[in-house]
Structure 1
Amino acid sequence: MLPAWLPHDAVRRAVGAPALDEVHGELLRQWGSSEVWRLSYGLRSVVVKRATDAQSEEASAYSRWVVPLELPAPAVFYASSGVLVLEDVGRVTLEQEPTAGGFLAAASLLAEIHGRAVDGVSGFPPERAKELAARGGVAVDVTLLSEALAVLHQQAPLHVVHGDFVPKNLVSDGSRWTVVDWPLAYLAPHLSDLYTLVRDAVALGHDRGPIVARYVEAAGADPFLVDRQVLVGGACFCLLALTFVVEEGRRTIPGSGDWIAPLTAELADLVEQLS
């Protein structure tokens, strides 16, 4: 049975169905803060999302960055009251088929996103590190991270950070790759997205070197600066993840409290490497 919150007219128009009861629904995800369905009629399909809390910021990210910069994301057919009707960009994720070629393609895609010039204010200024550590009750001294962020803001331009650039959010239709789930996007000079991509690739047995090299080549970047951006970005990712778990995740995602200890250890290791 389809959920009652669906925007009936928007869904019917998007898939070309004469009536909503002729639309087939497939539940893709159901957490406390989000619910995602694939809805189809014949050969046409869309993805519909309902979100609360941090997940509800996706429409804002689309209007601020995704649409103006023409980023590689699903098109939006409808957006209202935390509900989005989105283009269905494919059924295979990098998580489902974690090939070396897929990770290299993702690195190139990330370089494309970072190549779009953007104006705005940093979403991760140096002082935010200590603010997040306090909010999340993090038992790691992040002074070195704040200092590294201050330097990085002078060395590198701001770009759009996806905020959850991981295999499950990289989707292919067989010919192109697209990035989905943009509610956590913000502007920053670090490379947390490349950090999370490499982190998952290494966990799956792939080598870090070729992925970073592909990004450096595609972005025309300084490899030494990229290494620093990845290190700082990894620490920023851990801080954001810890704050999310403490403030929201334990309530909306079962078992997420178990992430706190390993994330804290990961953050401590990254901060130590900044010295």
Structure 2
Amino acid sequence: MLPAWLTKVSEPVLRATRAPSVDALQGELLRRWGSSEVWRLSYGLNSVIGKRGTDSQSGEAESYQKYVIPLGLPAPELIHSSDGVLVLEDVGRATLEQEPAAEGFLAAAELLAGIRSRRVDGPSGFPPEHVEEIADRIGRISFDLTPLTEALAALDRDAPLAVVHGDFVPKNLVTDGTRWTAVDWPLTYLAPHLADLYTLVRDAVALGHDRGPIVARYVDVAAADPFLVDRQLLVGGACFCLRALAFVIAEGFRIIPESKDWIDPLLSELEDLVEQLGRHRFVALRP
């Protein structure tokens, strides 16, 4: 069985796989949910990834043109895009979700350090005023977010802007046995925080791994100030929670009914992070 939308991109798929016809292709459904459907399309030893995205997942081609291609980010090659359907290089068959070894999380920290090393020009995709704007859309936050706004403003002055993948989690980290690649780039934006490292560590800890070695590997490879990284992690975690809550309210209820169960845990996580920021009351290091 093959996806119905394959007709939109059949020619580039056939060229890339060297298949004589669409009927000769083999299709393997890798992921399907409300706003994304991902297939491996293969002929013999040749394969590509076909992806259809809607709603929040519809901007991946734009992210490729704006960030991935110009910056040479470690992502699958974009072979073709048309009408919301992408044809991408097949970069491997194992994800960190499928093989969640400690070594994989350390490799992902190194991969992230490489992504963050690409210096970019603004504007930030998450300026301080964004905090209250998103909170207003969520409408369920009863605690004061001022510590987050202040910490983000200070971080804007103390840390350079860099690419935020936006969904740097084990299911989106793929290996071919030799190299690791980040896939799924539609949520990419620029910011000085480390939401990506936060989500990587968050999932690692949930699986029983230690936080320390992963953060230390990032600090070492990035040659970063560990105290600044701690701040970037707290701010990044809070920004991740805000964006996740906004997604659930705006889109999640409709495409992932069970996402309503994410709200209370995310609110608690956000409140804890904001409380930590309030205790530190970070100020800018530079005027």
Normalising TM by the smaller chain, what interval? over 0.9
Distance in 2, Cα, partners of 1:225 & 1:258: 33
In structure 1, which of residues 120, 123, 129 is the aligned counterpart of residue 122 of structure 2?
120
Which one of the candidate residues 159, 164, 168 is aligned to 2:167?
164
Distance 1:48 1:142 in 2: 40
| Whole-angstrom distance in 1 between the partners of 2:155 and 2:140 | 23
Listed as ranges, the matches of 1:1-275 within 5 Å are 1-6=1-6, 7-139=9-141, 140-275=143-278
Partners of 2:26 and 2:95 lie apart in 1 by 21
User: Which amino acid in the other structure matches residue 22 of structure 1?
Assistant: A
- State how far apart, in whole Å, the 2-side matches of 1:99 and 1:187 are: 29
Shift of 1:60: 0.6
CA-CA distance at 1:34 after TM superposition: 1.1
Tell me the CA shift for residue 14 of structure 1: 1.3
- What is the RMSD computed on CA atoms of the aligned residues? 0.7
1:82-102 CA distance string (max 9 Å, x none): 110000000100111111110
For 2:226 and 2:183, locate their aligned partners in 1 and report how far apart those are by CA, in whole Å. 27
Matching residue's letter, 1:151 = A
SS of the aligned residue for 1:77 comes to strand
Deviation at 1:125, TM superposition (A): 0.1
Task: Give the whole-Å Cα distance in 2 for the aligned partners of 1:15 and 1:191.
Answer: 37
Amino acid at match of 1:124: F
Task: Give the secondary structure class of the aligned counterpart of 1:183.
Answer: coil
Amino acid at match of 1:59: A
CA deviations over 1:74-116 (Å, ceiling 9, x no partner): 0011011111000000010011111111000000100000001
Deviations 1:115-171 (A, max 9, x none): 011112100000001111110113132111111110000000000000000011000
Q: Could you list the runs of 5+ residues in structure 2 that have no partner in the other structure? A: 279-287
Between 3-12 and 210-219, the greater mean CA deviation after superposition: 3-12
Q: Which runs of 5+ in 1 are unaligned?
A: none
CA distance in 2, matches of 1:18, 1:273: 59
Distance in 1 (alpha carbons) for counterparts of 2:23 and 2:17: 12
Aligned mates of 2:268, 2:33 — CA distance in 1: 26
Is 218-227 or 249-258 further displaced after alignment? 249-258
Aligned residue pair count: 275
SS at match of 2:81: strand
State the Cα distance separating 1:258 from its structure 2 match.
0.7
The amino acid that maps onto 1:254 is: P
For 1:71 and 1:51, how far apart are their aligned partners in 2? 21
Question: 1:10 deviation in Å?
Answer: 1.4
CA distance in 1, matches of 2:96, 2:36: 21
Deviations 1:38-58 (A, max 9, x none): 100000111100111110011
Q: Give the fraction of aligned pairs with identical amino acids, expressed as a percent.
A: 71
Letter in 2 for 1:176: R
Task: Provide the C-alpha distance between the structure 1 equivalents of 2:66 and 2:275, rounded to a whole number of angstroms.
Answer: 35
Q: How far apart in 1 are the matches of 2:150 and 2:191? A: 15
Once the two structures are superposed, residues 206-252 of structure 1 have per-residue CA deviations (whole angstroms, 9 ceiling, x without a partner) of 11111000000000100000000000000000000000000001111
Give SS of 1:135's match. helix
